[in-house]
Amino acid sequence: MPVETVETHCPYCALQCGMALDSQSQITPLDFPTNRGGLCQKGWTAAELLGSGQRLTTPLVRERRSASFRPVDWDTALEVVSRGMRAAQNDHGPDAVAVFGGGGLTNEKAYQLGKFARTVLRTSSIDYNGRYCMSSAAAAANRAFGIDRGLPFPVIDLAATGAVLLMGGNVAETMPPFMQHLLAVRDRGGALIVADPRRTATVEAATSHLALTPGTDLELALGLLHIAVVDGYVDHRYVADRTAGFDDVWRVATQWWPERVERVTGVPVASQRAAVRALAAGREGRGAVVLTARGAEQHGNGTDTVTGLINLSLALGLPGRPRSGYGCLTGQGNGQGGREHGQKADQLPGYRKIDDPLAREHVAAVWGVHPSALPGPGPSAYELIERIGTGDGPRSLLVHGSNLAVSSPRSGRVVERLGSLDQLVVCDPFMSETAALADVVLPVTQWAEEEGTVTNLEGRVLRRRRAASPPPGVRTDLEVLSGLAARLGHETGFPSDPRAIFDELRRASAGGVADYSGITWERIDTEGGVFWPCRSEHGPGQARLFADGFPTPDGRARFVAVDAGPAAEDVDDEYPVYLTTGRIAQHYQSGTQTRRVPVLAAAASEPRVEMHPDLATSSGVRDGERVRLVSRRGSASGTARVTASIRPDTVFMPFHWGGEQAVNRVTNPALDPTSRMPEFKVCAVRIERESVDVRPHDVRAEFAWEGEMS
């Protein structure tokens, strides 16, 4: 048979690299603006999951947690789920059923999940794993600029700029094709400055490394602003004409003189001054950009940290200038679109606030319900989990596109909370650690087996095209929601056709901050993606924001005064070492997908614990030896990797594994007061040598069920 090829996008990070997938499951990279013909090893191997022998292909049900799963037909499975939801709500009210979504779901799925929760279940208990990823940067951008779009300019603008400060990102491993845009800055004589406690692969390519102590990102941001003011780099005309609130910000920053910042952060005064000088020189030349990623954002003060860096960019006069500004590197594949259309606890489609009467009226009209029927804001992701098992907490939980037993902080506690549910339902292509805890597991399609749209880190809406048929017995998430809605009394309003859902999403988002009303599937196909906001089918999407003002009531950007304080948990005699976490090149998020790709699993079969030679010596640890990190919340096991690329007071461990190897058993659930983002990036631990061998985590060996899985 002839080989057919479909152009689509990678299923992993928010770069959404362009690729072609043929009917033989062969992948070819495309010359798409974000990746320019490049792919990372995860992208190259993405198609291997489509034919994986570990796919779930039939619904699985069990009557009690101690029993094995048994395969059932779809009608039986959906009836079990709907019956459990009705029982929970009849006994305990609407919020007794909760929904947990994911930043990898398509726009159509995210939209339909939010609509399902609020009109069928009428529950306020809905949030998603993007709360763990982008919420701090989103909150900071919204209050400063009046809009949250990861990059307010196309990614190709970066290559032409003159200076980039990247705070807390290791893109050489997390999104390798992105590096070509940063390397172009360096190769043209510009400055590439990276702030990170580790000497990562990204740092190796940089012109300058700010090796700060974990948890001191905000102090560094305040110090850089102090230098910008004192050394004369502030663009006073820009500040006067386009912003408000600078004086309040300066009153705080005046206390963070360079020598104090060096004592707190460990970054030398000379390096601080050089960084600000390079950004100012870039501004006067080709442009300058400040970027943040999870290293700066996943803190108990992450919103304020990002705000401090936005304040720096505003003081330098960057946002709205050509090839300049502030941007956030969105992490998950649809991390941008996933938070715009209703699966976030406090938002309705179009990035509308759920407690805004006009927003409620508009969306309710599209949904055909009265505004008063819509629930109000619900608890954030971790708070939702913490409420499970309490008097007014959820009794039934529906999970789409998330492995919260691995990705949540203090994950041992999370597993306990999940175990107290009356009903846990998980939709997943694979038996994830969360699915293995469930009462009902529903097998759903993967990225190349369905149609839909996603929105990448630039705010460019793209088409995810079907290139392969799913295994028999597998349904889409949209079909699952349609079937559940019908069984819960809503036989109309929940189609499974993604194009029909996108057309409704367009109407629901019209007039909102994230306005998709002018975007159609046909335009996406013709134009190679369309930027939002796009308010008319006859007008272009807005690729570059802020040139003519900010979407705030007075058109001005807001300086917001923030000050630094101690980390939620500092080191002490009992727990004397800082732990920071992150991703590595071979794996993605909780590893549910990538740990099942043989070549990736072989390259990184277990987590490594990076530590400095001095720390290894003082701890009595040898390279390659098994160690355990212990915090006040739990412990996690990995293999020591002794390297001079990390600070002597810090260890690093990636979070892609479950069981005893899950580093989130150790991390701190202290929440940012604004974004409700947990403190993933710094906590206090001690190092213990392992006395017994800990095998790599294998869900299939740990949990059993009756019948065939594939």
What pLDDT is recorded for position 507?
98
Say if residue 141 is in the same domain as residue 282: yes
| Amino acid letter for position 27 | I
CA within 13 Å, CB half, 632: 15
Confidence of residue 701 (pLDDT cuts 50, 70, 90): very low
Confidence of residue 654 (pLDDT cuts 50, 70, 90): very high
Would the pLDDT of 3 be above 90? Answer: no
Would the pLDDT of 399 be above 70? Answer: yes
What pLDDT is recorded for position 620?
97
Say if residue 597 is in the same domain as residue 689: yes
The verdict on residue 451 lying in a domain is yes
The verdict on residue 537 lying in a domain is no
The residue out of 280, 298, 333 marking a domain boundary is: 333
Cβ atoms of residues 323 and 157 within 8 Å: yes
What pLDDT is recorded for position 233?
98
Say if residue 25 is in the same domain as residue 161: no
Confidence of residue 23 (pLDDT cuts 50, 70, 90): confident
Say if residue 302 is in the same domain as residue 350: no
Tell me the C-alpha to C-alpha distance, in Å, between residue 140 and each of 101, 353, 444, 619.
22, 15, 35, 40
Say if residue 273 is in the same domain as residue 141: yes
The verdict on residue 567 lying in a domain is no
Mean residue pLDDT across the chain: 95
Cis preceding-peptide flag for 533 (omega within 30 of 0) = yes
Residue reference for tokens 């600000």? 276
The CATH number linked to 40 is 2.20.25.90
What pLDDT is recorded for position 65?
83
Say if residue 626 is in the same domain as residue 688: yes
Give the C-alpha separation, 609 to 140, whole Å: 32
pLDDT in tens, 407-423: 999 999 999 999 999 99
Would the pLDDT of 707 be above 70? Answer: no
Buried b (16+ CB within 10 A) or exposed e, 123-144: bbbbbbbbbbbbbbbbbbbbbb
Would the pLDDT of 702 be above 70? Answer: no
pLDDT in tens, 132-186: 998 999 999 999 999 999 999 999 999 999 999 999 999 999 999 999 999 999 9
Give the C-alpha separation, 1 to 648, whole Å: 59
Strand, helix or coil for residue 438: coil
What pLDDT is recorded for position 566?
86
The CATH number linked to 459 is 3.40.50.740
Give the C-alpha separation, 198 to 467, whole Å: 40
User: Bridge-partner residues for 443, per DSSP?
Assistant: 428
Angle at CA 212, nearest 5°, toward 209 and 218?
Answer: 115
Angle at CA 465, nearest 5°, toward 153 and 33?
Answer: 30
The CATH number linked to 155 is 3.40.228.10
Angle at CA 495, nearest 5°, toward 489 and 498?
Answer: 150
Q: Which two tokens stand for residue 369?
A: 């319900």
Angle at CA 332, nearest 5°, toward 330 and 333?
Answer: 105
Mean pLDDT of 31-42: 96
Strand, helix or coil for residue 217: helix
pLDDT in tens, 452-505: 999 999 999 999 999 999 999 999 999 999 999 999 999 999 999 999 999 999
Residue reference for tokens 């059923």? 97
Say if residue 307 is in the same domain as residue 346: no
Residues whose CB falls within 8 Å of the CB of residue 338, separated by 6 or more in sequence, listed in order: 101, 102, 103, 104, 105, 107, 110, 128, 130, 332
The verdict on residue 570 lying in a domain is no
The verdict on residue 559 lying in a domain is no
Q: Please state, for a pLDDT cut of 90, what percent of the chain lies above it.
A: 94
Mean pLDDT of 641-667: 97
Strand, helix or coil for residue 96: helix
Mean pLDDT of 624-646: 98
Say if residue 36 is in the same domain as residue 79: no
Rg (CA), the chain: 24
Which element (helix H / strand E) includes 689? strand 683-689
The verdict on residue 536 lying in a domain is no
Q: Which two tokens stand for residue 292?
A: 């943040």
The residue out of 317, 333, 349 marking a domain boundary is: 333
The verdict on residue 280 lying in a domain is yes
The CATH number linked to 592 is 2.40.40.20
Would the pLDDT of 703 be above 60? Answer: no
What pLDDT is recorded for position 464?
96
Residue reference for tokens 């098992």? 389
Give the C-alpha separation, 343 to 2, whole Å: 41
Q: Please state at what angle helix 217-230 crosses helix 258-265, rounded to 10 degrees.
A: 160
Would the pLDDT of 214 be above 90? Answer: yes
Say if residue 201 is in the same domain as residue 312: yes
**Helix H segments across 335-476?**
335-338, 357-367, 381-387, 404-407, 411-419
Say if residue 644 is in the same domain as residue 696: yes
Cβ atoms of residues 17 and 31 within 8 Å: no
- The reported pTM is 0.95
Say if residue 343 is in the same domain as residue 315: no
Q: Which two tokens stand for residue 496?
A: 């499974």
Residue reference for tokens 């936005």? 310
Angle at CA 702, nearest 5°, toward 699 and 703?
Answer: 85
Cβ atoms of residues 569 and 679 within 8 Å: yes
Q: How many CB atoms lie within 10 A of CB 649?
A: 16
Our count of domains for the chain comes to: 4
Nearest to 403 by CA among 380, 443, 440, 430: 430
What pLDDT is recorded for position 132?
95
The residue out of 282, 304, 333 marking a domain boundary is: 333
Mean pLDDT of 266-283: 98
CA within 13 Å, CB half, 65: 15
| Chain centre to alpha carbon of residue 261 | 29
Cβ atoms of residues 637 and 626 within 8 Å: yes
pLDDT in tens, 50-83: 999 999 999 999 988 889 999 999 999 999 999 9
The verdict on residue 542 lying in a domain is no
What pLDDT is recorded for position 694?
45
Confidence of residue 593 (pLDDT cuts 50, 70, 90): very high
Residue reference for tokens 């920071």? 580
Residues whose CB falls within 8 Å of the CB of residue 284, separated by 6 or more in sequence, listed in order: none
Say if residue 486 is in the same domain as residue 611: no
Domain that holds residue 342: 60-133+334-514+525-531
Cβ atoms of residues 320 and 546 within 8 Å: yes
Q: Which two tokens stand for residue 612?
A: 């400095």
Would the pLDDT of 211 be above 80? Answer: yes
